[in-house]
Amino acid sequence: MPKHYRPAGKKKEGNAARYITKSQAVKYLQVSLSLFRKLCILKGIFPREPKKKVKGNHHTYYHTKDILFLKHEPLLEKFREMRAYEKKIKKAVSKKNRDLAERLLTRKPTYTLDMLIRERSPKFIDALRDLDDCLSMVHLFAALPAVEREKIPVNRVHNCRRLSHEWQAYVSRIHKLRKTFISVKGIYYQAEIDGQKITWLTPHALQQVLPADVDYNIMLTFLEFYETLLAFVNFKLYHSINVKYPPILDSRLEALAADLYALSRFFDSRASMTESKATSTSESDGSKDLGEGTNYDESELRLAQLQQQLPSNEPGALMHLVQNAAESDEDDSETRKCKALLKDVKFFLSREVPRESLLFVIPAFGGIVSWDGEGAPFKETDQSITHQIVDRPTQGHKFLSREYVQPQWIYDCINARILLPVDEYVVGRIPPPHLSPFVDNEAEGYVPEYAETIKRLQAAARQEVLPMPGVGKEDLDDPQNLLVEGVIDRAEAIEAAEKKRKMSILQKQYHDELKKELGSTQISAASAGNKDTGGDSLPDISQIFKDADSMSDILMPRKRRKLLDAMKRGKEKKQTNVDRLKQRNRMIKEGKISEKKNV
């Protein structure tokens, strides 16, 4: 056990006793700097900022209690044991004792992070709250190449890909995907599970270039914890819908990079495998005969059984987990709306579109999808296809019975929760602006023109009435306009006019009382000023409000006044951005800026 670290000199109090520098912590724990970083990442311990930095501003400080937690962590002893074991292996290799080195390698000690997951996430809801960074990191490494120079092994990349597809399959099956947005960084998704909104980012399906200024050892340490966390979450979620975890996939579809479809095949085959247990026993005997002379293990035999039980082309099987999963009666209104959005739509994906993303989002909203390639559920010549997703102007042949749209149409329909007109998304035409669903246009103060169009289409789908462009809501509330438009009849117009008249009377009375109340406090000062000029008018209401605001600013404490000034600067910055967007839109309409260049 390491000796207790106690600085020399008198007893320390305050910040000097509550905080410790990184170099002191490493010396106290008697570990290397890299191992200290790994322990802090796995335990979730981060640097603190004390009010008074005793050792100077150039040091990194940790709380003393956090370092004491690291001291009693069982992983610390495990790492020391592994380090001593590696020294034994190096010693055997240096002495050229090959038998001893191989025997030591087979018995090398390992460790798990299961207890850390239970410690950092005591409840399942806590694990769901921590999934944002976890999913982004796992999806990132699922798209990275296995580089030996950066110590990124192949099995880690494959494991990240498997975990990400298992997560997507669950979210798509229970129809909990809510928002999606394509940006330069990648594709943003947001799902809502057990009342928790989970947002993550997936990179584009492009060749990834690894920058040299990134410490991949730290990222791999984070990934080690996130892999364990996501595996626990997937296990819990799959068992909540009565699906065995981990799933056994069709190896042929995995080889064709159709992992999501392979997952759906496994989920749909679960019931049939239970019913045909007797026949599967005889089939497994035949598989054993086929496997003689090769190294087939039990999992490969089960894969062979799965391939024999499932047909090669099974239409409409994407993302359907199990038949006895959560029924529609248990779903909320938003889930039912998402499930029915693309219910009667059948898609076919061309080769150039982002297939993996569309295979995830389309079934999540009730659609049926296939692609151009081996292992697809149905072919391009299927006459029941309603929409074909293409991103290339030159199409060899076209079917008159279907619509040809760009991939952006899918994502815009998902965010708007309605099927938008396809005229603006025809192949070869510049599509409308791809609006982010994560931005509140009302709060930002600028509503894009296409957002207004989508709002009117949504209102038309709900059979609501919205004011026409250039007409305010007060004009819509006028019963005379509603009577002219034919929205209400004459009796309803008379009743609405009477209510409006009574409301205007009440508002006038309220304003008169407000003027008397505000004017009485300053009537003496105002009358004194009016005597000189001979006027009898009441003080200006706007000037009274301005004086009250300035007086409140003077009497406000300094801290709150600084906060108020920061809020005002933020509003001014937001207004400047709104004016810039309006000016750009106006210049596009005047032809001074090309719309294609702006997009």
**Rounded CA separation 165/357 (Å):** 11
* Residues with Cβ within 8 Å of residue 313, at least 6 apart in sequence: 376, 377, 378
Residues facing 368 on adjacent strands: 346
For 507-542, what is each residue's pLDDT tens digit? Answer: 667 666 656 655 555 445 444 444 444 444 545 556
**Rounded CA separation 334/178 (Å):** 9
**Rounded CA separation 357/224 (Å):** 25
Residue 448, CA distances (Å) to 49, 434, 437, 536, 543 in order: 42, 11, 12, 49, 35
The sheet carrying 368-371 orders its strands as: 368-371, 346-349, 387-389, 403-405
Residues facing 198 on adjacent strands: 191
CB 469 within 8 A of CB 456: no
End-to-end, the C-alpha distance of the chain in Å comes to 63
**Rounded CA separation 207/213 (Å):** 18
pLDDT at 57: 86
Please give the CATH superfamily to which domain 335-462 belongs: BRCT domain (3.40.50.10190)
Mode of pairing for the β-strands spanning 19-21 and 61-63: antiparallel
Query: What residue segments make up the domains of the chain, in order of their start?
Result: 15-107, 113-207+214-247, 335-462, 558-598
CB 411 within 8 A of CB 181: yes
CB 2 within 8 A of CB 29: yes
**Rounded CA separation 281/297 (Å):** 16
**Rounded CA separation 565/577 (Å):** 18
Segment (H or E) for 389: strand 387-389
- Kindly report the pTM of this predicted structure: 0.72
Diameter of the chain by CA atoms?
Answer: 116
Tokens representing 199 are: 């947002």
Q: Residue 419: count other Cβ atoms within 10 Å of its Cβ.
A: 15
For 16-65, what is each residue's pLDDT tens digit? Answer: 778 899 999 999 999 999 999 999 999 999 998 888 888 888 899 999 99
CB 315 within 8 A of CB 263: no
**Rounded CA separation 36/297 (Å):** 40
Hunting for tokens 């979620």 — which residue is that?
237
**Rounded CA separation 236/229 (Å):** 11
Hunting for tokens 């006459």 — which residue is that?
383
CB 384 within 8 A of CB 342: no
**Rounded CA separation 108/67 (Å):** 28
Q: Residue 483: count other Cβ atoms within 10 Å of its Cβ.
A: 17
pLDDT per residue, tens digit, the chain (599 aa), is 445 555 554 556 666 778 899 999 999 999 999 999 999 999 999 998 888 888 888 899 999 999 999 999 999 999 999 889 989 888 898 988 888 888 888 888 888 999 999 999 999 999 999 999 999 999 999 988 888 777 888 889 989 998 998 999 899 889 999 999 999 999 999 999 998 999 999 999 888 888 888 888 999 999 999 999 999 999 999 999 888 888 766 555 555 555 665 565 555 555 444 444 444 443 444 433 333 333 434 444 344 333 333 333 333 333 444 334 444 446 788 888 898 899 889 999 988 899 889 999 999 999 999 988 777 888 888 889 999 999 887 666 788 888 999 999 999 999 999 999 999 999 888 899 999 999 888 777 788 888 888 888 888 887 765 555 544 444 445 555 545 545 455 566 566 667 777 677 766 676 666 566 555 554 454 444 444 444 445 455 566 656 666 666 666 788 877 887 888 888 888 888 888 888 888 887 777 766 554 44
CA-wise closest residue to 283 among 301, 310, 265: 301
Check residue 67 and report its DSSP letter.
Answer: H
Residue 377, CA distances (Å) to 215, 342, 348 in order: 43, 18, 10
